Structure 1
Amino acid sequence: MTVCMNQSRKEKVVVIMGATGTGKSRLSVDLATRFSGEIINSDKIQLYNGLEIATNQITIPERCGVPHHLLGVIPLDEGEVSASEFRSLASRSISEIASRGKLPIIAGGSNSFIHTLLVEHFDPESNPFSSMPSISSELRYDCCFLWVDVSVSVLFHYLSKRVDQMMESGMFEELAGFYKPRHSGSTTTLSGIHKTIGIPEFDRYFELYPPEKNDKVCEWDSARKAAYEEAVQAVKDNTWQLAKKQVERIMKLRCSGWEIQRLDATASLRSSREVWDKTVLEESIKTVKNFLLKD
């Protein structure tokens, strides 16, 4: 399906939201392949080029040939990407995608960046999710919001298991290769890629046990094994805290007038592709079709 854009109207964009691990990337690719779409990453950590396991970047095979924008484009040694910079970069991507008759699909877990990109009037000095929220319901695009949600208990156990799988897939070695000793007692505020869950947790581990070549787990003493397990548990705890914060922010956007459709992906997280297609994808396709046909 080719998307026809009327220049006198707001550009249509699909926005896929949700906590980490719920299937946002999966749904974005599924919809992009069916609606001639291109995907714009809205996860501030996945902007950086590197640490693909720790940042949970979608792999090349998983992208199914769909163009991805603002994914792994910032060098690791660059600092924080500001909200203003993201708004400029993502706006340009939306315009370029729409000019080719394609559907822009925004997918990612950084709800502050999503708000920054979509609102008509952006205040770089304001935090929309602070104790005094300043969430705007005036949007500069015609948006179709899809929220991939999973029940608390199922998501909690899934994220714990996913961290274990990430460690088995090489996350520990990835973090060891990235580690750089800091000055003792340093209180430098983390920024940019250093905010990635896994880096600060394992920095504390590597301060005690610096990375070594030919390091063999079977040769670790009990203290080192305990320190490793403590770091892994910290990654799990902080991943869960992130997921809760992401859902809280989506709820705040909903309460502020954003028309966000919730998709219950709980069953699909524990089951086959067929369950995903039935419970999440079919409803999403129907919603996007109606959205694109709407004047």
Structure 2
Amino acid sequence: MQELTSTIMSRSFLPTTSPRLRLRPRSLVRMTVCIDQSRKEKVVVILGATGTGKSRLSVDLATRFSGEIINSDKIQFYNGLEIATNQITIPERCGVPHHLLGELAPDSELTASEFRTLASRSISEIASRGKLPIIAGGSNSFVHALLVDHYNRETNPFASGSKISSELRYDCCFLWVDVSVSVLFHYLSKRVDQMMESGMFEELAGFYKPRDSGKTAQTGIHKSIGVPEFDRYFEVYPPEINGKMCEWDPERKAAFDEAVQAIKDNTWLLAKKQIHRIMTLRSSGWEIKRLDATSSLRASSREVYEKNVLEESVKIVNRFFLKV
């Protein structure tokens, strides 16, 4: 084993002080450490169902620990539907670099195996710059593909009877942003309404192409919740004949409401599937720390979020770096 002895300032990944969250940083002291180049790279992995606040937490941790974020949401890899796919906006990124976010063409298809290769490269590049790689997203099959030591692309790790390995190729700090079922259900329904008010319908109308509708196998961003639901609507009411909603006849309004409700139903099914898979990973030996974000989501309060979610996350990450 090759080891290098060097004198460094113990400031890597130290949290910076925020005026909104006063946390006591570790003191900067000179120390002589033995660096083992064969050690696994440290990464922080943020898990959670859709709508629980993974993106916000990833940015807050990145600003405090000098990190960069790797997207692990399989739909957010693609560009073209920023509202429908809930991509974090440029202002919300607060200058933190994001990787594999909105970079692929809408009709392309990224497999879990390809994600493993691309995300691994991003982790190495981020770590080589002395930054902390932070993986955030809801696609747990892709997270599994990236992190397990021995990955078999021919098997579904979440299929009945499958066994998930706890042997990982990175030194991982897992954070699970969890919200109670009842609160999350109502929040996701409300969020769909807010997305529609923010221009999701117009975005989907501009994206719709009659030749794409009715395909038996959708690819890329076409699998995003919202696309198939409104494809069925646009087949009957093409975008070019859209007028003001107040001018729509009852049948058209009913078809629109049906599409919106289908989006809400499918979003909730996705959330339940994501929660189940996180629990499966946890029961398979992955050391996943649960953060209860119920009160902060219910109150929509930055102060409650910082106290119950962010502050606890910073403590967990600090302990992770102190771990030998």
TM surpasses 0.5 = yes
Q: How does 1:230-269 map to 2 (within 5 A)?
A: 230-269=258-297
Matched, 1:126 2:161: no
Contact kept? 1:159, 1:240, Cα under 8 Å: yes
Q: Which runs of 5+ in 2 are unaligned?
A: 1-10, 14-32
Name the count of aligned residue pairs: 293
Q: Give 2:252's aligned residue.
A: 224
Q: Which runs of 5+ in 1 are unaligned?
A: none
Contact kept? 1:18, 1:24, Cα under 8 Å: yes
Higher RCO (CA < 8 A, seq sep 6+): 1
C-alpha distance in 1, partners of 2:36/2:304? 36
Shift of 1:214: 6.0
The one-character-per-residue Cα deviations of 1:114-154 (angstroms, maximum 9, x if unpaired) are 00000000101010011222311110000000000000000
Q: Look up the equivalent residue of 2:220 and give its one-letter code.
A: G
1:10 to 40, 46, 66: 40
Q: Give 1:41's aligned residue.
A: 71
Matched, 1:75 2:105: yes
The alignment's C-alpha RMSD in Å is: 1.4
Shift of 1:6: 4.5
Q: Give 1:143's aligned residue.
A: 172
C-alpha distance in 1, partners of 2:116/2:94? 27
Q: How does 1:133-212 map to 2 (within 5 A)?
A: 133-182=162-211, 186-212=214-240
Shift of 1:7: 2.1
* Cα 1:154/1:91, change in 2 over 3 Å: same
C-alpha distance in 2, partners of 1:89/1:268? 34
Q: Look up the equivalent residue of 1:46 and give its one-letter code.
A: Q
Shift of 1:218: 1.6
TM-score (norm 2): 0.88
C-alpha distance in 1, partners of 2:212/2:188? 33
Contact kept? 1:194, 1:200, Cα under 8 Å: yes
Aligned to 1:46, the other structure's residue is in SS state coil
C-alpha distance in 1, partners of 2:225/2:61? 28
Contact kept? 1:126, 1:134, Cα under 8 Å: no
Moved over 4 A (4+): 3-6
Q: How does 1:94-105 map to 2 (within 5 A)?
A: 94-105=123-134
TM-score (norm 1): 0.96
- Residue identity over aligned pairs, in percent, reads 79
C-alpha distance in 1, partners of 2:317/2:209? 46
C-alpha distance in 2, partners of 1:279/1:195? 34
C-alpha distance in 2, partners of 1:194/1:238? 15
The one-character-per-residue Cα deviations of 1:77-114 (angstroms, maximum 9, x if unpaired) are 22x21111100000000000000110000000000000
The one-character-per-residue Cα deviations of 1:156-190 (angstroms, maximum 9, x if unpaired) are 00000000000000000000001111488x45212
Shift of 1:76: 1.1
* Cα 1:6/1:232, change in 2 over 3 Å: farther
Structure with bigger gyration radius: 2
Q: Look up the equivalent residue of 2:258 and give its one-letter code.
A: E
